[in-house]
Amino acid sequence: MPKVELRHQKVFDAKRFFEILNSPNFTYFTAKPKTIEDEKVILRQNFKKQCANLEHNFTILYDGAIVGACGFKIDQHRPHIGEIGYFVDETHWGKGIAPEAVKLLEQIGFGKLGLVRIEIWMNPLNKASERVAIKSGYLKEGVMKKAQKNGDVYTDEILYAKVI
Ligand SMILES: CC(C)(COP(=O)(O)OP(=O)(O)OC[C@H]1O[C@@H](n2cnc3c(N)ncnc32)[C@H](O)[C@@H]1OP(=O)(O)O)[C@@H](O)C(=O)NCCC(=O)NCCS
């Protein structure tokens, strides 16, 4: 069984992230870099964001190869709450990589980062992401009306959470 591992992101990961994120099937993932250089700029901010406890981001390795990324955004008003985000290369969908990454993230979140509550938000149409939350043991707490803003459009988000 190939192993899923997390490691801190490197600027070197930009090319793979750019390719994965610009796949036409990434319908519900809005953070698409326009160029590899744009992605490098984002990756260079990681260390600062980590030191400021804003975000903690990781690269997902599957059998040693880069297949995606995941991480926490820390609620700046309630720093005991972290929101998980994830994406996986579409050629590896359906192998249970994201739930495995969530399991590893939880160890970091509830352990090292001292979180007490972890949330996963998703677009109501993003059934694959909802399955990841359910399979990872998160409980649905409701639908947050107009929680997301894309340009001038407000959309609903489903909220899943796990607490310790
Ligand atoms: C959501 C995502 C991370 C799931 O990753 P994954 O490693 O494939 O997760 P899983 O293997 O557990 O599969 C989860 C669900 O995806 C769906 N799925 C599986 N294979 C699929 C495929 N080839 N095509 C489309 N959906 C598929 C299934 O509904 C599956 O649930 P099931 O196991 O109950 O059948 C991945 O689909 C992805 O990167 N999507 C685009 C980015 C995104 O939406 N991120 C989340 C934002 S909230």
CATH of the domain at 124: 3.40.630.30
Contacts of 49 (CB under 8 A, 6+ apart): 55, 56, 57
| Residue 25: predicted pLDDT | 86
Predicted local confidence at residue 2, as pLDDT: 80
Q: How many domains does the chain have?
A: 1
- Between the CA of 36 and the centroid of ligand 1 the distance, in Å, is 24
Ligand 1 cavity residues, CB under 6 Å: 26, 28-29, 86-88, 93-99, 122, 126-129, 131-132, 135
Residue 3: DSSP 8-state: P
pLDDT tens sequence across 86-95:
999 999 999 9
Q: Comparing C-alpha atoms, which of 139, 114, 109 is closest to residue 6?
A: 109
Burial class (CB in 10 A: 0-12, 13-18, 19+), 74: buried
Full domain range(s) for residue 55: 4-163
Alpha carbon nearest to ligand 1 atom 14, residue: 128
Percent of the chain residues topping a pLDDT of 70? 99
Q: How far away, in angstroms, is 90 Cα from ligand 1 center?
A: 8
**pTM here?**
0.96
